[in-house]
Structure 1
C-alpha cells in the first residue's frame, strides 16, 4: 500500500516537472478561448435548446477550464505572477455562477458581459507569462493562442447577434474580431521562425476564415439552422487548426530553452 502511494506521488512529481513554460502559455491561452466558447455554447443552447451538440460543447468546455486552472495553479515557474491567476479565479467564480442558471436572454446577456471581463484577466495572465519566458517564440504562442480565442469570440458575437443579445456590441465586435484575426494571421505568416509545417497550417486557417466570412456577409443562401452549423463548424476548424499551430510554437520555445 505504501509503495503504491509512493509510486503515485512520484508520477505526480514527474508530471509537474514536465510542465514547461511553453505548456503554461499554451494552456493559459486556451483559457481565453474557453471563456468565449462557453458563452457561445450557452447562447446557442437558448437558440436551439434541443441541439445536443451545444450541450456537449458547453459542459466539456466548463470541465476543461476547471482542469486547466488547476494545472496553472501548480506551475512553479509562474510563482511571481500568482496574483494575476488569483484575479482570474475570482472572475471565473462569477462567470461560473451564471452558467449554472437556466438559459434565458437575461442570463445570456449577463454571461456575455462577464465573458469579456474574464477574457481580459486571462489575457493579462498570458501576457505576464510571455514576459517571464523572455523569448521571441513566446510572443508567437501568445498570438497564435489569441487566434483560437478570436475564432470562438467570432462565433460568440455571431450567436449573440442572432439571438438579439447586446446587439450593438455583438455586431461591432464581430467585425473587429474578423479584422483582427486577419491581421494577426498575416503577422504569423510573416514570422521568420515558422517551419514549413507551421506555414502550411496557417494557410489552412486563412482558407477557413475566407469560407466563414461568406456566411457573415450573407453570401450563403441557406436556412438559419444550416447557417449556424456552417459558422460554428468553420470556426471550430479555425480553432483546431490554430491549436496545432500554438503547440508547434510552444515546442519551438521549449526546444530553445534546452540550448
Structure 2
C-alpha cells in the first residue's frame, strides 16, 4: 500500500494522481453541501474548508519541486493553488458574517501565509521544505479551526 511506504521520487506521479482524484471527489461533495445549505454561511464554510486543501496541495507541489520534479504541469498547478488560496483568503477576510474571533484567526493565517510566500519565493534551487511545510501545516490547523467557527455561526 502506497501510504505505508517511505516517500520516494519514483512514486510522486502516482501520489499526485491519487491526490487529484481525491480532491475532485471531495470538492464535489463539499460543493453539494454548500448548494444544499443555500446560505452565505454555507459558502464561507466551503471556502474555509477548501483553504485546508489548498494548503496541503501547495505543500505537495513544493516538496515535488524540492525533489527536482519541477515540471511545467506541477508548476502551473502550484501557481493556480497559490492564487486560489490568496483570493479565497481575501474573500474570507471581507465576509460580513465574521466574528471578532474569526477575524483574529484569519489574521494569524495571513501571517503564516506571508511567511510561506517569502520562503516560497526563494529561487536559485534553494528550498526550505521544513519552513514551508511548517507554515502550511499551521495554516491547515488554523483553517480547520476557522471552518469550525463558521459552522458554529451557521
Q: TM (normalized to structure 1)?
A: 0.55
Within 2, Cα distance between the matches of 1:102 and 1:201? 34
| Preserved contact between residue 160 and residue 167 of structure 1 (Cα < 8 Å) | no
Q: Which structure has more RCO (C-alpha within 8 Å, separation ≥ 6)? A: 2
Question: Cα deviation per residue 1:164-204 (whole Å; 9 max; x = unaligned)?
Answer: 33622221222222211111011011111111110111111
2:75 corresponds to: 171
Larger radius of gyration: 1
Question: Cα deviation per residue 1:1-53 (whole Å; 9 max; x = unaligned)?
Answer: xxxxxxxxxxxxxxxxxxxxxxxxxxxxxxxxxxxxxxxxxxxxxxxxxxxxx
Relative to its length, the structure with more helix (as a share) is 1
Within 2, Cα distance between the matches of 1:108 and 1:166? 12
Deviation of the 1:102 alpha carbon: 5.5
1:125 corresponds to: 29
Q: Give the alignment of 1:106-145 within 5 angstroms.
A: 106-145=10-49
Within 2, Cα distance between the matches of 1:147 and 1:138? 14
In structure 2, which of residues 65, 72, 78 is the aligned counterpart of residue 161 of structure 1? 65
Which range is displaced more, 153-162 or 167-176? Answer: 167-176
| Preserved contact between residue 145 and residue 243 of structure 1 (Cα < 8 Å) | yes
Where structure 1 has 5 or more consecutive residues not aligned to the other structure, the ranges are: 1-96, 254-259
Question: Cα deviation per residue 1:68-110 (whole Å; 9 max; x = unaligned)?
Answer: xxxxxxxxxxxxxxxxxxxxxxxxxxxxx43345543232211
Within 1, Cα distance between the matches of 2:5 and 2:85? 32
| Preserved contact between residue 127 and residue 142 of structure 1 (Cα < 8 Å) | yes
User: Is 1:184 paired with 2:88?
Assistant: yes
2:146 corresponds to: 245
| Preserved contact between residue 157 and residue 171 of structure 1 (Cα < 8 Å) | yes
Q: TM (normalized to structure 2)?
A: 0.90
Where structure 2 has 5 or more consecutive residues not aligned to the other structure, the ranges are: none
| Preserved contact between residue 212 and residue 235 of structure 1 (Cα < 8 Å) | yes
Question: Cα deviation per residue 1:203-236 (whole Å; 9 max; x = unaligned)?
Answer: 11111111111111117x9x75xx1111111111
1:79 corresponds to: none
Q: Give the alignment of 1:1-259 within 5 angstroms.
A: 97-100=1-4, 103-165=7-69, 167-218=71-122, 224=127, 227-253=128-154
Within 2, Cα distance between the matches of 1:167 and 1:119? 20
In structure 2, do the counterparts of structure 1 residues 190 and 165 end up closer, same or farther at CA, with 3 Å as the change threshold?
A: same
State the Cα RMSD in Å: 1.9
Question: Cα deviation per residue 1:98-139 (whole Å; 9 max; x = unaligned)?
Answer: 334554323221111221111011110111111222222111
| Preserved contact between residue 158 and residue 170 of structure 1 (Cα < 8 Å) | no
| Residues paired across the two proteins, number | 153
